[in-house]
Amino acid sequence: MPNFEPRGSFRELTLATFVDRLASGEPVPGGGSASAVAASLGAGLVTMVASLSQDRPKYAAHAALHERAVEVGRRLATRFLELADEDSAAFARFAASLKLPRQSDDEQNRRRAAMSEAARDAAEVPFAMMEACLELVSTAESLVGRSNANASSDLGVAALLANAAARGAAENVLVNLPSVDDDAYRGEAAADVVRLLDDIEQLAAEVHEGVRGGTARDPLPG
């Protein structure tokens, strides 16, 4: 029988071990955790570009932005790895709800309620991931033309990873919504997924365009 319970934190694994687990017959880690790890790599790249831009006279006018981007990148890199664990834990709770007895009407009602609650949790974790991806790609966009030009392509890669992770997270939100017994929540969540994907896609496109253009930009206001 598949093991639905996560075995410790994914952040403690080597990259090779994580990939081996991903490739195994176990259901966790799955696409949600893989998406979170990809986003964490994107956050690491944003931090790297900002760090490579600090203490360089050519980019001194953007020093405050670089400092802020380093903080955001490090925070998001950690948060995405936490979300990788949370995604697997949420899946385990939903899988457990499926195993509840359903012989009597009362048992069926309790099982349905437990499934709805677990599915909502399983949707909210990847939705939080999407919100973090928006912050990540927004930070990457702010660095375009305001950071070390030799590392500009890394911002493009960060945007690609954030976009891919957000789309992966969206799949996990949408697959869980049908099991949530709340019409209003399902409709609002589905609309929010579309909105977030549109915003992330737009910012990612701006990152790629800016990186290809290679034009220096004025400091951000404030």
Q: What pLDDT is stored for residue 159 in this prediction?
A: 98
Domain ranges of the chain: 28-213
Q: Are 38 and 161 in contact (CB under 8 A)?
A: yes
Split at pLDDT 50, 70, 90, the class of 6 is low
Which residue type sits at 89? Answer: A
> Which residues, 6+ apart, have CB-to-CB distance to 131 below 8 Å?
196
Model pLDDT for residues 56-93, shown as the tens digit of each residue? 999 999 999 999 999 999 999 999 999 999 999 999 99
Q: What pLDDT is stored for residue 133 in this prediction?
A: 98
- Which of the four CATH numbers 1.20.120.680, 1.10.10.10, 3.40.190.10, 2.60.40.10 does domain 28-213 have? 1.20.120.680
- The C-alpha atoms of residue 204 and residue 155 are separated, in whole angstroms, by 10
- Which of 133, 3, 4, 121 has the alpha carbon at shortest distance from 72? 133
Mean pLDDT of 120-127: 96
Neighbours of 217 (CB within 10 A): 14
End-to-end CA distance of the chain: 57
pTM of the model: 0.93
Residues 104, 118, 180: CA angle, nearest 5 degrees: 80
- Give the helix ranges, DSSP H, for the chain: 15-22, 31-53, 63-98, 105-143, 152-176, 183-213
Split at pLDDT 50, 70, 90, the class of 8 is confident
Mean pLDDT of 214-219: 95
Model pLDDT for residues 130-189, shown as the tens digit of each residue? 999 999 999 999 999 999 999 999 999 999 999 999 999 999 999 999 999 999 999 999
